Structure 1
Amino acid sequence: MGVFEPLRQRSFSLYFAGQVVSNVGTWFQNLALQLVVLAATGSAQTLSGVTIAQFLPILVFGVLAGRLADRVRPRTILLFTSGLAAATTAVLALVVAAAEPDIRILYALVAVLGTVQAFERIAGQAIIFELVGPTALSRAVSISTIALAAARSIGPGLAGIAFQQLGAPACMLLNAASFIAVGVSLLLIRPASLHERARRSESAPVRTTDLLRQRAVSTLLIANVVIALFAMNFGLVLTATVDLSYGGDATAVGAAHALNAVGAIVGGGIAAALPRVGVRSLIPAAAAFGGALLVNAAAPTLALFLWAGPLLGLAIGYYQGVLNAAAQSAVAPEAIGRLMSLVTLGNYGMVPFGALLMGWVIDASSGRVSLMIGGVAALACALLVALRAPRP
């Protein structure tokens, strides 16, 4: 099977296209929301409240969302979440249209949207098995990470243009339209074409605690949490490094994110080309990620830092592709939802804590030091997996 063979399947290609559109739309909303809050308050601390409101629901509802994804067809969940997200974002557009937006209402709506997306993110992982079946699962999971990287390569630039030309409410409405596009892509997927996942056995149900007792699974989850906490805060770290450490302007910040995203697309493709992915595949993936972080931290000038950007992006894309594919391959299909809820808790649930921690590190030292810390953490996780994960 070719690397991009899953994209030849109609159901997966429809889902992939919807995810690219949705992730681009998310950039429109996030950029506009950040600029509106900063303009209204002038406070970075107030802005951090938006991040907390967005990601805290994942910590609260992540496990519940995983259980639901193992009981209800993920396509059904995603149809509901796309509609709810579109409606919430449309209301958000009305609020930011006010001359003086009420920050408390913004927080509340972002929290509602974060709750909806807690269920959407996990169902979005669980549906991949049903779209392509077991034989193409690893490649399809790795390819799905490319949707995030592709959106990150074009989203910020388009969002900036839209904000300047159309304003914040229009950015929110464009994001609402992207959620509607996701719903349309799901409606075009024929339920009869989906691969049935075995449902939980009532006599011997697989519980979350059973998953945590598996050495391979617990090792993967530990590595995921550590790397997410110390090494995955690129929205903050790349911007701060270019701006504060190298004195770069907004163009340089945008270039750093774009170059990083282009590399991530390539890295996702490399992960998809692997013939077999298991938990021990994280050893080279985490090591490569750690090495790339250290290379970027060592760049003495902005020009060299930008040149190293695609290498870091490639390592990120490769690591994320391997991580998600290894997680889905580590358990039986009927437990994918619950395990991916735990992976999502590690990825997104650590965002507020990682942002606070790395923000403190950057203020106390520099963005390059935060990159170095992330590199050391990723290398330590590669060693952890090598020592702890069982051999196949």
Structure 2
Amino acid sequence: MTSWGVFQPFANGRFSLYFSGQVVSNTGTWFQNLALSLVVLEATGSARALSGVTIAQFLPLLLLSVPAGRVADRVRPRTILLITSLLSAAVVGGLAVATLTPDAPVTVFYALVAALGTVHTFERVAAQAIVFELVGPGELGRAVSLSTIALASARSVGPGLAGVAFQSLGPTACMLVNAASFLLVFLSIVLIRPSRLHAREVRRRDEGADRYRVGRDPALVTLLIVNAVVALLALNLMLVLTSTVTLTFDGDATAVGVVHTLNAVGAIAGGIIAAGRASVSVRSLVVACTGLGLALLANAVAPGLPVFLALGPALGLGVGYYQGVLNAAAQVSVPPEHIGRMMSLVTLGNYGMVPFGAFVMGWVVDEAGGQAALAIGGTAALACAVFVRLRSGRRPTA
């Protein structure tokens, strides 16, 4: 495969426009998340309080992911994304106002973040479902893997810029940057013409039959289990990395931004490697989980902040490759008309476990330190690699 072949989906103007909008949105989200994390930590000095933000953000995903998948299979994802981008801008504007209020209760931030999480539940599922409509079946796997790079690309610049903005301009400016990013996403989706999208067939089958199909496919069940376990114990990196830098190594906001930026550089490389695979299946998670587990364990034994920062790209590589393989395998393993529901289950496991993981990891960080949380995540990822290997004795159907 040529190097150009890896990036072939970018020859599609619709995908490039969508990808650019996602990079802008995710970059703005880093401004919000970093500022909000530091505001809560400065006010409370508690990782448990910070975990409350994560719980408020992701609990709606746990409750609403499956309904969001059904909506994404009945309403054009483009329409959903237009609505969610405007609603997100409005809620983030509310967060900006809250940061201007002296001694605002933490519960106010929790409530606004929960509202934003509700909107993002529908946005995340639609953002995954629209990839098929943008590129069609031929480039689906590669485009899905590349789309994960949008998050990593944002992390390569977002945390560093957010750290500087927080230090010089304060949290309110960070929130306003994120609100503006959602308005730019709205514009990018408007520019994608509906008539140029690939149609997905709407199957008139009862939902029980859909659930039965997933439940009877061992490969899909394996993927969903691994997705949930890794999300629960290994991917609470906003909480764990931020807490490790600030509470374990006494780093400042700039150091927090740097660690996330270095992590993102590796994640971009990991996503590109995943997109370069000629084919992907659930069995590919053996290597993906192994790499993620080893990277987490290496960070868990870093003796100080300089080494911890130096290991950031390796951790990012593991995360990017894992996420690229997981999302591509999930989408290519089901018919196009079921992508919305399948990705709602992936979203349910990936993000729905975050509130529980944040609660557990927040407790671990407060009691044993951030590196203990990284060690738990690494061990869980290696266990998942063994689980996939044992479950894939014969080639799964796709």
Q: TM-score, normalised by structure 2?
A: 0.92
Equivalent residue number for residue 289 of structure 1? 292
Choose which of 124, 134, 138 in structure 1 pairs with 2:137: 134
Give the 3 Å change call, closer, same or farther, for CA 35–259 of structure 1 in structure 2: closer
Aligned length: 392
Choose which of 380, 384, 389 in structure 2 pairs with 1:381: 384
AA in 2 matched with 1:261: A
Q: Which runs of 5+ in 1 are unaligned?
A: none
SS at match of 1:207: helix
The C-alpha deviation readout for 1:16-57, integer Å capped at 9, x for no partner, is: 000000011111222232344445556554433222211110
AA in 2 matched with 1:187: V
Instruction: Tell me by how many angstroms 1:246 deviates.
Output: 4.7
Equivalent residue number for residue 146 of structure 1? 149
Give the 3 Å change call, closer, same or farther, for CA 357–39 of structure 1 in structure 2: closer
Q: Is the 8 A contact 1:3 1:273 kept in 2?
A: yes
Instruction: Quote the Cα distance in structure 2 between the aligned partners of 1:57 and 1:295.
Output: 33
Give the 3 Å change call, closer, same or farther, for CA 378–3 of structure 1 in structure 2: same
Equivalent residue number for residue 52 of structure 2? 49
Instruction: Quote the Cα distance in structure 2 between the aligned partners of 1:278 and 1:354.
Output: 26
Choose which of 354, 357, 363 in structure 2 pairs with 1:354: 357
Q: Is the 8 A contact 1:51 1:352 kept in 2?
A: yes
Give the 3 Å change call, closer, same or farther, for CA 308–94 of structure 1 in structure 2: closer
Instruction: Quote the Cα distance in structure 1 between the aligned partners of 2:41 and 2:373.
Output: 24
Choose which of 257, 261, 266 in structure 1 pairs with 2:264: 261
AA in 2 matched with 1:347: N
Q: Larger deviation: 232-241 or 51-60? A: 232-241
Instruction: Tell me by how many angstroms 1:358 deviates.
Output: 2.1
Instruction: Report whether the alignment pairs 1:343 with 2:346.
Output: yes
Instruction: Tell me by how many angstroms 1:206 deviates.
Output: 4.7
AA in 1 matched with 2:185: V
Instruction: Report whether the alignment pairs 1:32 with 2:35.
Output: yes
Q: Larger deviation: 6-15 or 157-166? A: 157-166
Give the 3 Å change call, closer, same or farther, for CA 255–226 of structure 1 in structure 2: same
Q: Larger deviation: 245-254 or 126-135? A: 245-254
Give the 3 Å change call, closer, same or farther, for CA 203–324 of structure 1 in structure 2: closer
Instruction: Quote the Cα distance in structure 1 between the aligned partners of 2:302 and 2:97.
Output: 44
AA in 2 matched with 1:262: V
Equivalent residue number for residue 279 of structure 1? 282
Q: Is the 8 A contact 2:48 2:363 kept in 1?
A: no
Where does 1:107-126 land on structure 2 (aligned, <5 Å)? 107-126=110-129
The C-alpha deviation readout for 1:117-163, integer Å capped at 9, x for no partner, is: 00000100000011011111111111111111111121122122323
Equivalent residue number for residue 395 of structure 2? 391
Q: Which runs of 5+ in 2 are unaligned?
A: none
Q: Larger deviation: 69-78 or 354-363? A: 354-363
Where does 1:1-392 land on structure 2 (aligned, <5 Å)? 2-38=5-41, 44-202=47-205, 206-246=209-249, 248=251, 250-389=253-392, 390-392=394-396
AA in 2 matched with 1:391: R
Q: Is the 8 A contact 2:48 2:362 kept in 1?
A: no
Overall identity of the aligned pairs, in %: 64
Q: Larger deviation: 221-230 or 33-42? A: 33-42
Instruction: Quote the Cα distance in structure 1 between the aligned partners of 2:84 and 2:15.
Output: 19
Instruction: Quote the Cα distance in structure 1 between the aligned partners of 2:225 and 2:206.
Output: 30
Q: Is the 8 A contact 2:28 2:158 kept in 1?
A: yes
Q: Larger deviation: 323-332 or 1-10? A: 1-10
AA in 2 matched with 1:279: V
Give the 3 Å change call, closer, same or farther, for CA 363–49 of structure 1 in structure 2: closer
What is the root-mean-square deviation of aligned Cα atoms in Å?
Answer: 2.1
Q: Is the 8 A contact 1:32 1:168 kept in 2?
A: yes
Q: Is the 8 A contact 2:51 2:362 kept in 1?
A: no
Give the 3 Å change call, closer, same or farther, for CA 384–236 of structure 1 in structure 2: same
Q: Larger deviation: 196-205 or 119-128? A: 196-205
Give the 3 Å change call, closer, same or farther, for CA 145–204 of structure 1 in structure 2: closer
